[in-house]
Amino acid sequence: MESISLLLEEALSPYQVTLTTSGAQGECLVTVKNPAGAIMVEREVDRAQLTDKRVLVDVVDCLLRDLKIAEGRLEPSVIAALRNAAQTRSAALA
């Protein structure tokens, strides 16, 4: 788990990342703090999500998106509009 923590720390630099066991099923709590030490994002993830490299990339992408929202650099409505546009394109191609 320490190597995963280091990978997350590197991917989310300059933020500080802490992984702790949080649930009865072995879920992990990912806590992301800004350089000043304030908690920016906390998410509970299944341990399996952290061991599969493809899924881990998705976890990092979601954390980066959540950080942008927390910092006011991305509005949740923009995300909804982007998802809707992507679904519309997918349906048109099918």
More confident residue, 72 or 41: 41
More confident residue, 2 or 9: 9
Under 8 Å CB-to-CB from 37, ≥6 apart: which residues? 16
Under 8 Å CB-to-CB from 70, ≥6 apart: which residues? 40, 41
Q: Which residue is associated with the tokens 């509005």? A: 75
Section 64-92 average pLDDT:
80
Buried/exposed 53-64: b ≥16 CB within 10 Å, e otherwise: eeebeebbeebb
- The pLDDT score that the predictor gives to residue 94 is 61
pTM over 0.75: no
| 6 has a pLDDT exceeding 80 | yes
* Tens digit of each residue's pLDDT (9 = 90 or more) over 13-64: 999 999 988 877 878 999 999 999 999 999 999 888 888 888 888 889 889 9
Residues listed for the chain? 94
Handedness of CA 34, 37, 41, 46 (dihedral sign): positive
C-alpha span between 73 and 39 (Å, rounded): 17
